[in-house]
Amino acid sequence: MSEKKKILVIGGAGYIGSHVVKALLANNFAVTVYDNMSTGQPCNLFTDANFVGGDIADEKKMHEVMAKGFDVVIHLAAKKAVGESMTNPQLYAKNNISGTINILNAMTDCGVKNIVFSSTAAVYGMPKYLPIDEQHPVEPMSFYGFTKAEIERVMDWYSKLKDFHYIALRYFNAVGYAADGSIRGKEKNPQNLLPIIMEVLSGKRKELQIFGNDYDTPDGTCIRDYIHVEDLATAHIAAVNELCARPVSHIINLSTGKGTSVLEMVHAAENVSGKKIPFKFAPRRSGDPAIVVADNSTARKILHWAPQYTDMEQIIQTTWNLEEK
């Protein structure tokens, strides 16, 4: 029997990271999680994975861990609030740029050659055409998006200069939870639409504010490409396998290719929960494009991956399950 491949998941206690760890364990990888637990949660940790508490800013610790040797690093540790990145860019520069460079340098110093990097739709900025493919210009409108775009460029240089390969996965809107209920860590102070809808449904918030109803879309509200977190997780497994099979770097959108409006999300959540969602229309949120929908043909071709969750009510049900119990 061949040895298990060793994977270091940085940020493995977070929302997407914990789903990636779950999928890795299910696929027989040996997993080590490195997390500073700033937003990661103890209930997101799996006992079958090793855990190392630490910060990516800690160069010494990063090197110590990396020296254990890994086939692939998956890096999901980042600050991700777009608004905060505009008021506190220093924090985002330190964490998302300097912190990631610590990881990349620890990798190259220790001979760890492969990384799967969490990138984002925010690197594209205002869509110039739809659906967005990977050739779309990279012109981020937030400092958050800039930090991710910048690391993609650093990784590209490292891939030319060193024995180093990367797959940057540009996530669109991640939603949902593991359908088997094994991951239950809810984000504190959520900024995204579906967790906010859940807070309204559970009575934690009085009402939902819908940012803009005068967009050039069929119902006037913004359209986004919502992808289930378990589909994101399986794409990470495919990316790990691809890097282990072929030393080639890629940038890949992870999306469904299907758009859903804010009002459609509200109605789907009402159907799933059987409750009314009080909402009011509020002014547009600055920097929000009317429609973001992405082409996922690169993921289909290179990763031989396709999203399995296609029904929005089914997707929302996996989130609603956490509220019901």
> Which residue, 89 or 190, has its beta carbon nearer to ligand UDP?
190
| CB-nearer residue toward ligand UDP: 69 or 83 | 83
3-state secondary structure of 243: helix
Pick 32 or 260: Cβ nearer ligand UDP: 260
- C-beta of 157: minimal distance to ligand UDP in Å? 28
Find the shortest distance in angstroms from Cβ 97 to ligand UDP. Answer: 20
Residue nearest ligand UDP by beta-carbon distance: 222
E strands, the chain, where?
A: 6-10, 30-35, 50-53, 72-75, 114-120, 165-171, 173-175, 208-211, 223-224, 226-228, 250-254, 260-261, 279-282
Q: What are the residues binding ligand UDP (CB under 6 A)?
A: 173, 191-193, 196, 208-211, 222, 224, 262, 285, 288
Selecting among 15, 144, 171, 177, the annotated active-site residue is 144
Q: Which of 97, 111, 22, 119 is nearest to 66 (CA)?
A: 111
On whether the CB atoms of residues 99 and 57 are closer than 8 A, the answer is: yes
Report residue 194 as tokens. 């579906």
Q: Closest CB to ligand UDP among 193 and 227?
A: 193
Give Cβ neighbours of residue 141 (< 8 Å, ≥ 6 apart).
Answer: 122, 125, 126, 287
- Closest separation in Å from C-beta 189 to ligand UDP: 12
The least distance separating ligand UDP from the CB of residue 127, rounded to whole angstroms, comes to 12
And the tokens for 29? Answer: 């990888």
Return the number of other C-beta atoms located less than 10 Å from residue 34's C-beta. 27
171 is catalytic: no
Q: Contact, 138 vs 156, CB < 8 A?
A: no
> Could you tell me if 118 and 19 are in contact, meaning their C-beta atoms sit under 8 angstroms apart?
no
Q: How many CA atoms lie within 13 A of 196 on its CB side?
A: 15
Considering the complex, state which of residue 32 and residue 173 has its C-beta at the smaller distance from ligand UDP: 173
Nearer to ligand UDP, 54 or 145 (CB): 145
Cβ-proximal residues to 160 (8 Å cutoff; 6+ apart), any chain: none
In the complex, the smallest distance separating the C-beta of residue 124 from ligand UDP, rounded to whole angstroms, is 11
Residue whose entry in the numeric block shows the structure tokens 């690391």: 151
The minimum distance between CB 285 and ligand UDP, in angstroms, equals: 5
Which of 258, 251, 260, 256 lies closest to 306, judged by CA?
A: 256
Active site amino acids: 144
